[in-house]
Amino acid sequence: MKHKNSPAAGTPAADKPAEVTAREQQPAAWQCIIDLPSERGISRLVTEPLLEHLGAHGWPPADIFSIHLAAEEAIVNAIVHGNKLDPNKKVHVECLISAELARVEITDEGAGFDPKAVPDCTSEERWEVPSGRGVMLMRTFMTRLEYNAKGNSVLMEKRRD
Amino acid sequence: MATYRRIDVSKLGEVSVVKFVDKKILEEAGIQELGAELFGLVELENRKTILLNFSGVEFLSSAALGKLITLDRKVKANKGRLKMSNIRPEIFEVFQVTKLNKVFDIRGEESEAIAAFTA
């Protein structure tokens, strides 16, 4: 059962144990909706504020690393493989960060792909192939990873342990 | 001696010790340039014994993994040896889940890696 964050309605913070106070003083959930141009290196427009708000919501560094990695991989995939760096196509990103949940949804304007058709990068004959690890990393480092039927949109979630 | 922008290279005996300038190695952080500099160590300078010291590297994406795999292949093709050290736990997990810890020779500290070259 997840602990739901509730405001300390009228209770003086000084009366609370330090840990509870820290938890209750978490800022409200942060939401971000942005359309990125299909350019290399543009992912930081999302990842920089994302990291900042994960920190502000008290996520531990290891989880922040995981979410950063998954978001980076997904945005690069959308720009390079989805939109094929087409300057006329955008990557639509929606983020929701609270103390318990990090959700990132990334949609490109490409033809989509079948994530099940990506070869297993951990099979021995593919160990030395220099690409094809992004989706696997996203799946490993997030709690939930789902593609839409077309395969041009991915929804990722990480829940705080 | 070549000039590098993405790596710092020093010599410890026979071993070329390479450290990374960027804390975050991802696509935007000049990864093509990083790859070119790493490959140049092998292809232009013919360095045979290379240690990549990851101290100071906080983040690394799959684009960087690709460069490391290609470097490993180039070193092996040149009959050289490549080792890695000082990898923080989160990044080591990236190597583990992609099974690259079985491809690369990864040691704990720089001194262990140096000792392993001479063993």
Of residues A8 and A16, more confidently modeled: A16
B72:A128 CB<8 A:
yes
Question: Per the domain annotation, does B50 fall within a domain?
Answer: yes
In a mutational test of the B interface, the residue from A128, A135, A141, A142 whose CB has the highest number of chain B CBs within 10 Å is: A128
| 8 A C-beta contact, residue A116 and residue A71 | no
* pLDDT (0 to 100) of residue B29: 64
| 8 A C-beta contact, residue A129 and residue A121 | yes
- Provide the residue-wise pLDDT of chain B in tens; the chain has 119 residues: 678 999 999 999 999 999 999 999 987 668 999 999 999 999 999 999 999 999 999 999 999 999 999 999 999 999 999 999 999 999 999 999 999 999 999 999 999 999 999 87
Per DSSP (E only), the strands in chain A are 30-37, 90-97, 101-107, 144-147, 153-159
Question: How far apart are the CA of A41 and the nearest CA of chain B, in angstroms?
Answer: 4
Q: Which stretches of chain B sit within 8 Å of chain A by CB?
A: 26-28, 59, 61-63, 65-67, 69-70, 72-73, 89-90, 94, 97-100, 102-103
Number of domains making up chain B: 1
Pick the CATH number of A28-159 from 3.90.550.10, 3.30.70.580, 3.30.565.10, 3.40.190.10: 3.30.565.10
Per DSSP (E only), the strands in B5-89 are 7-12, 15-20, 24-25, 49-53, 59-60, 81-85
Q: Which residue of A has its CA nearest to B63?
A: A131
Amino acid identity of B55?
Answer: S
Q: Is the dihedral of CA A42, A43, A44, A45 positive or negative?
A: positive
Nearest-5° Cα angle at B87, A129 to A99: 95
Asked if the model's pLDDT at residue A2 lies above 50, the reply is no
> At A128, is the pLDDT very low, low, confident or very high (cuts 50, 70, 90)?
confident
